Structure 1
């Protein structure tokens, strides 16, 4: 008779039952686990992750610690209304504060170089709305001018192409190293007694009157875990386990250059309502985005790159960001983000023993820690 991965008395009595099971070991999953361990130190907590390490977008993002470019926030205000748009920005700021209180800047390689947005001809109208946006944002950030336009000397120093007509500066944003962030989160979770099981693909969750039964596939076979509370934190894959929740995937393609001699800028930059984003990694330049060129094609769970977006990213590097500079593309990857219909976070109990926790919409670094705290409110 073949034996499954959980067969012995010891395994079944100690490893197949838990108080809180969190599905997904990304930023939101580990943030939730850490918040749960701090709030309920006597609870047994297990995190299940199907990959050999977390993937999705957690370690495949751009490492932006930001809350929104001027053009993105103005678009959100137009589409969602002022109250909802500002509430989203406020949640992002609060989430970043929790993150930095939980981990030292050194551990996650946080760098406060500020956030920027390049303005080309089609975005010049944004400048006309900066005064009103600053008045709205001052209620949240506590400073009179969250967004200011660089003077011509500061602008020219950045070395951008002639198509860049203006540059907006935000002093409150920064950047992190996503790999070191997940290492810090794993270390913190394990120090709190949280068990993280990689290579554990959750196939199904079923609820009875008292517990959730979770069916888990591993390389050694399939087994079941019983949990009093189950929290689904699988971002773009939430609908696979909780189909009534409508989360759509969105792929983000990223390229990174070789080191650039005399690189003239540092910081996290946005363009075109946040659909493009770039930053320095030391002397390298990371550039990602372009999803708006093919919304339908990029609404996928497939990790891949496409010719249309790769061409657009390379052209932007050559013409707008690094004109006249010699470089090679040394890294190329994609990550899968999740998007709700209205850019709102979704933290809700969907059954007596199951909670979903979603809050990304491309802002997982900013929102993850806050989402974890919101889950605890439901558990309490």
Structure 2
């Protein structure tokens, strides 16, 4: 790209901080840097027209983990580690609400419900027997019993008659959240350039030289916030994980309200006004969904439609309006990587599918890496 003197001088010279990725983490990192360094020149680079990855493509769950998911986490983590992760999720959601406002993100605390299919009796029995124990483990976080038993008031089929409710779980409007966050960033005199892919960088004693698909430039500090796409820039233990989603057309007199989880969180659905959004199915093809390519597959989309037809909306006719996918960053443990990669390069990645919950926290911590270096 043949840039003019004016373009380089105005947008790409004397850059103090460059953030790669304009999702929840990247924008919160930029805002945190602006608060701490009000006169700094801050640049955000985004390869998509809109924030790429998962920030504008997620289901909008403000959640902390279903009970069976917590039980699964406890198999490979200590209770202290699990409590710490749930606390980070709660802190992140509270920060998101405080920074942007409930109205601007469409926040509603409608509760979250874990359903158990009839074939999953063993998981159902174990989970039901552990409610009191997990409430005790998580009491320091919520200062109350989070989980309780609810009856099947929404008349789902082919599930056990009772499900486990997390009363503190909420939902947000993902689009509204990101639009308002982008607006705040721009109003803070932070530059965002879209359609720019960072291909490589090289660090020396005084700056980082950055090569993109459009131009080269120099920055004093570089922050990587590309989550599932981070493997092309930093060598950290992060795998991409595609999440496929569909949404119905409006359904007359839809009575379903809230967030719902099935099969240890591998399937999830919620209402969006008078529509149902349903996603998941990565467990049907873990290897195939370990990709940075957007798109959908027949095996997963057919499973999602079957769940709609046989369990979620068995008494309603419905039509699919849209299908899409997002790219998450996952690893062997559910713990984000927030670290200094070198003296001038930092990363905040591997959000483990919990970007809405912990993205604000990770962005703030990523920004603080510079002051700690």
Contact 1:359/1:367 (<8 A) preserved: no
Any idea what the Cα deviations from partners look like across 1:193-231, whole Å, max 9, x if unmatched?
Answer: 11000111111111011110111223xxxx212111100
Any idea what the Cα deviations from partners look like across 1:138-165, whole Å, max 9, x if unmatched?
Answer: 111111x200001x4xx2x212114233
TM-score, normalising length: structure 2: 0.95
Given candidates 327, 330, 346, the residue that maps to 2:321 is 330
Given candidates 184, 188, 191, the residue that maps to 1:192 is 188
1:85-124 paired onto structure 2 within 5 Å: 85-121=82-118, 122=120, 123-124=123-124
Instruction: Provide the alpha-carbon RMSD of the alignment.
Output: 1.3
TM-score, normalising length: structure 1: 0.94
1:208-247 paired onto structure 2 within 5 Å: 208-218=204-214, 223-242=215-234, 244-247=235-238
Given candidates 278, 283, 291, the residue that maps to 1:287 is 278
Contact 1:303/1:335 (<8 A) preserved: yes
Contact 1:207/1:213 (<8 A) preserved: yes
Show structure 2 runs of 5+ residues with no match.
none
Equivalent in the alignment of 1:19: 16
Equivalent in the alignment of 2:45: 48
Compute the displacement of 1:107 (Å). Answer: 0.9
Compute the displacement of 1:359 (Å). Answer: 4.3
Equivalent in the alignment of 2:140: 139
Moved more, 15-24 or 161-170: 161-170
1:30 partnered with 2:27: yes
Q: Secondary structure at the match of 2:76?
A: helix
Compute the displacement of 1:120 (Å). Answer: 2.6
Partner Cα distance (1:85, 1:212) in 2: 37
Compute the displacement of 1:377 (Å). Answer: 2.4
Any idea what the Cα deviations from partners look like across 1:60-89, whole Å, max 9, x if unmatched?
Answer: 110111111111111001122212122111
Runs of 4+ in 1 over 4 A off after TM superposition: none
Any idea what the Cα deviations from partners look like across 1:107-157, whole Å, max 9, x if unmatched?
Answer: 1111111111112341312111111000001111111x200001x4xx2x2
1:268 partnered with 2:259: yes
Compute the displacement of 1:13 (Å). Answer: 3.3
Moved more, 30-39 or 160-169: 160-169
Contact 2:117/2:158 (<8 A) preserved: no
